[in-house]
A and B are shown apart, each in its own frame.
Chain A
Amino acid sequence: MSRLILKDLVKKFDNVAAVNHVSLEVEEGEFVTLLGPSGCGKTTTLRTIAGFYQPDEGEIYFNDRLMNNIPPAKRNTSMCFQSYALFPHMNVWDNIAFGLKMRKISQPEQKKRVAQALEMMSLSGMEKRMPGQLSGGQQQRVALARAIVTQPDILLFDEPLSNLDAKLRVQVRVEIKEMQKRLGITSIYVTHDQDEALAISDRIVVMNQGQIEQVGDPQSIYLHPMTSFVAGFIGLANILSGQVVARKENQVQLELPFGRFWAFAGGLRASVGDTVRFSFRPENVVQYREGSPNKVSATIQHAIFMGDTIDLFLDAKGTRLRARAESAAKLKPGDIAVFSIDETAFQFLE
């Protein structure tokens, strides 16, 4: 188990930075997810931690030990690959025992640990099978067993679930999380699936174009996005900008094309006259009830029935908004309806 520290990490390919000045501290036993769109540098970061890439600038520490020049074989990390990367010419047992053999662990100890890992991953009885004879889910388990059996300091996951079907994906991610908590191994998990990230992480690192946009626990990332990228990438959001026209105590009044709205200012420093960017979630735009604040009337363009809710696409005086309604609501395209936006829903962005 190790603390992981990345200091100002830069990794370039052909002079283009795939990872651009990334700094991050991960506590012992913490489960941190790197989340971001395709090509944002998640895999590159992970592979640099594992030692497959040499950073061009910056430093990597496990606890207090500088790791920059330690070869991957000596880092005592374990990586779970998207493709599982099982050794196709070894059976399940030999796959799992590989890391132990490399560490010259004694035979009886190897037996004990492999058996334990098989047990833990419910793979008992499959020792002799070749990877080609296993289902995707079983291969995934073998890969996990192989990763944990060496008792690594840091576990690295690169989209380990993306080759599984949706149901299995949910099930395995719970298992991964449980296993990680039980073993208490520091883990870095890469995914571009936000649901997965929200469900599994202690903290989420949102990345974009090689840089960190925001770090925080799942709730704060979802509820308090700080940049329009984070707001737009995680969940659905209406991202708008408008002028501050009034300010009183903890509230500001915003001028928008479809009206003026009061919002809780939070830490907003803007004064009257400034233009600010902000976001609010569709679930905060609900049908108007007597006494609700911030009235908006809008034309319904599309109403999509989702089962538990109705997804609405609105046109408010030329501005497109997303909103939610209860599934029993009688709304159809062309209707004009009145909505309200909660004052606490506004998140001001950088």
Chain B
Amino acid sequence: MAATKQKNLWYVRQARRKRRFTTLLTVFFILVQVLWVGVPIFMTVLWSLVDPNHPWSFPNILPEKLSWGQWMYVFKYTNILRALKTSYTLAPCAVLLSFLFSLPTAYVLGRKQIPGKKFFQTIVLLPIIMPGMVVALFLSRVFNAFGLAQNFFGLVLAHTLMGLPYMIRVLTTSFEAIPQDVIDAAENLGANTFVKIKDIFLPMVRPGLLAGMIFAFTTSIEEFNLTFIIGTPTFETIPTILYSFLGYNFIRTNASVVALIMMIPNIIMLFAVENFLKSDYLSASLGKL
């Protein structure tokens, strides 16, 4: 009896109303966000499924007929397959190379107190900060001079350049996070340099390494400026193909298919790695200048 009376007091009601307001706000934000992200993606999916013989035009709210026709068309009559092959051979090469290049650098930046460290850390960020088109255009002059333009190896180097900052930053943070005590303990127990690398450093930076590889990989898959200037027309990657569909001859249906082809692996990757892709890594590689 006393309890029910308590529950009906005005201030209890007001407190409950306040809580409900917070919940409502969360739901509202989620709804807005679902629309914000969902509608563009949904529309693209729809467009990619429009039947070529029943075009979707102004008064119709939904396409008359859905089919895989556009997908067939894109795979049959465009260079998408070749572009896919180029993109997905380029990316692993660039990831491997940037891993090999970044490991020693990240080790020094993460574990040694060297003069000029701040300077080196800024240098590492340059590929992200420097305007892409400027670098692309004038690096292409350099590449031309050395015969690296319109050349697969040249493209790998270019993509490595763009992946390196993420790789180095994330690995540096991982190296920094290893407590000196652990290393001292290993040394104290008689570990030599080789054992230290194999049993201490590498396992402890592995999560960071994975995160860095994912960043470098997606960077390579998305890279446009350098590929566009240095690679095309000899090499086409998915972004450059998409660009051509969006450019002079805008073909919305084809572009939808290519956009989805480019996007789906990324989103799958995002959800597959959500767990260890903590925002620490994201902010380590993107934020803090």
Which chain A residues have a beta carbon within 8 Å of chain B's beta carbons? 54, 57, 66, 68-69
Contact = CB atoms under 8 A, between A and B. Distances in A.
A69 B6 contact: no
B58 interface: no
A17 to B, nearest CB: 14
A42 to B, nearest CB: 22
Nearest to A69: B11
Given A57-B6, A68-B15, 8 more contacts: A54-B15, A54-B18, A57-B12, A66-B11, A68-B11, A69-B11, A69-B14, A69-B15
10 contacts: A54-B15, A54-B18, A57-B6, A57-B12, A66-B11, A68-B11, A68-B15, A69-B11, A69-B14, A69-B15
Contacts of A54: 15, 18
Nearest to A54: B15
Contacts of B6: 57
By secondary structure, the A interface counts as loop
Contacts of B11: 66, 68-69
A69 B11 CA distance: 6
A68 B11 CA distance: 7
A282 B183 CA distance: 48
- The 10 residue pairs across chains A and B that have the minimum distance between CB atoms: A68-B11, A54-B15, A69-B11, A69-B14, A57-B6, A69-B15, A66-B11, A54-B18, A68-B15, A57-B12
A105 B8 CA distance: 39
Contacts, number: 10
A105 B14 CA distance: 31
Interface of B: 6, 11-12, 14-15, 18
B256 to A, nearest CB: 46
Name which of B6, B11, B14, B18 has the most chain A CB atoms within 10 A of its CB.
B11
A219 B6 CA distance: 37
A66 B10 CA distance: 12
B54 to A, nearest CB: 55
A87 to B, nearest CB: 23
Contacts of B18: 54
B209 to A, nearest CB: 35
A202 B236 CA distance: 82
Contacts of A66: 11
B18 to A, nearest CB: 7
B12 to A, nearest CB: 8
A54 B11 CA distance: 9
A193 B213 CA distance: 51
Contacts of B14: 69
Nearest to B10: A69
A180 to B, nearest CB: 30
A245 B6 CA distance: 48
A68 B15 CA distance: 9
Nearest to A53: B15
A69 B17 CA distance: 12
Contacts of A69: 11, 14-15
B172 to A, nearest CB: 26
B160 to A, nearest CB: 41
A54 B10 CA distance: 13
A310 B14 CA distance: 59
A57 B8 CA distance: 11
B11 to A, nearest CB: 4
Contacts of A68: 11, 15
A62 to B, nearest CB: 14
B22 to A, nearest CB: 12
Nearest to B16: A54
Contacts of B15: 54, 68-69
A189 B116 CA distance: 50
A69 B16 CA distance: 11
B94 to A, nearest CB: 42
B23 to A, nearest CB: 15
A221 B14 CA distance: 39
A21 to B, nearest CB: 12
A69 B12 CA distance: 9
A321 to B, nearest CB: 43
Nearest to A8: B6
Contacts of A57: 6, 12
